[in-house]
Structure 1
């Protein structure tokens, strides 16, 4: 719950700036897409060149990840790809556990850059995820199967809504932090 609250607070300054946000939703098959069914969204960066946008996004990746050289590959002024690891991709009950546990794994993000805009591809979570218990036992899972358990007849189950919302907020939070961190910082810091 704390992570969800932190993500929501992180997004508030972006809303105040009136920027268009990337807002992907999670589908029953474990894929992300926009609410209207697309696998990408185009975010305007009015008046900025591809080079300026690239520099801003690369800087934001540096402030988002501990070691950006390990997670980022890029074509200068054209695209940035991220492949990173998260300890909290999905909450689910491993066999024999009473409550939901966090599964970890890799996810991928892609930003294609042109003058005045960025095309943000829907995030991809790699299928192999795992949970390591307090006694160091490893429980393997499949992301799409774990996500499908959040849904019933294509609709998020109310008792699973909190987990679903946290997963969506987490992924959108990372994307929007990469898109907008320096814009928000520049407005709030006078150094």
Structure 2
């Protein structure tokens, strides 16, 4: 019996450690139910306590959260954040593949009711700064920001999904899914333990 209980606990911990709140699609992040939000059940916890705990968790995770923080007291929290070089992508350079690191700017939004936290789909932009270079007869190209789009825009070759939904850059796709799901899990986990010290 003890052995069976240990296996059940191990399975629960394993499930919780791989929380997948959202998956990336050509439309952006969607929940497992294909909604633009997901709901985390937190039984027997009042709305105001959930709000305070998530706000405290955000304040411990981010260096200077007040810069991008927008709140409706007791009801909702939005954080706009920017992280440098957190998304590595292998891109073809004509001779092979080169690893390029992209910055992420994103917004996370949480809404609260008694016993429930609603998390809206993360909105994000992945981009990197490219310094100008000499292009031969056409001269110099200027410095610019290069953005990874979800779908093809114009003649750009830097997009994540083909028209048929196939992923072009698996490392970028996996990296975005992992980054946002891990970040949301960290916030939710920390909010559950914030007052237990």
The normalised TM-score by structure 2 is 0.70
Which residue in 2 is equivalent to 1:116? 115
3-state SS of 1:99 partner: strand
Which residue in 2 is equivalent to 1:141? 147
Contact 2:111 2:117 survives alignment (8 Å): yes
Query: After the TM superposition, which residues 143-158 of structure 1 pair with which residues of structure 2 at under 5 Å, given as runs?
Result: 143-145=149-151, 149-152=159-162, 153-156=164-167
In structure 2, distance between residues paired with 1:116 and 1:148: 42
1:90-109, CA deviations, whole angstroms, 9 ceiling, x for partnerless residues? Answer: 73638779414122242111
Q: CA deviation at 1:167?
A: 1.3
- Give the structure with the larger strand fraction: 2
1:71-108, CA deviations, whole angstroms, 9 ceiling, x for partnerless residues? Answer: 21111210000111122357363877941412224211
3-state SS of 1:110 partner: strand
3-state SS of 1:156 partner: coil
In structure 2, distance between residues paired with 1:99 and 1:19: 35
In structure 2, distance between residues paired with 1:17 and 1:58: 26
Contact 2:53 2:194 survives alignment (8 Å): no
Q: CA deviation at 1:111?
A: 0.5
RMSD over aligned Cα, in angstroms? 3.4
Match for residue 186 of structure 2 among 166, 171, 177: 177
Structure 2 gap ranges (5+): 1-9, 134-142
Q: CA deviation at 1:142?
A: 4.6
1:137-183, CA deviations, whole angstroms, 9 ceiling, x for partnerless residues? Answer: 544225324897444421335xx333321210101111121212143
Match for residue 53 of structure 1 among 50, 53, 70: 50
User: Residue 77 in 1 paired to residue 74 in 2?
Assistant: yes
Moved more, 175-184 or 140-149: 140-149
Match for residue 67 of structure 1 among 64, 67, 70: 64
How many residue pairs are counted as aligned between the two chains?
Answer: 170
Contact 2:89 2:171 survives alignment (8 Å): no
- Give the structure with the larger helix fraction: 1
3-state SS of 1:144 partner: strand
Contact 2:87 2:102 survives alignment (8 Å): yes
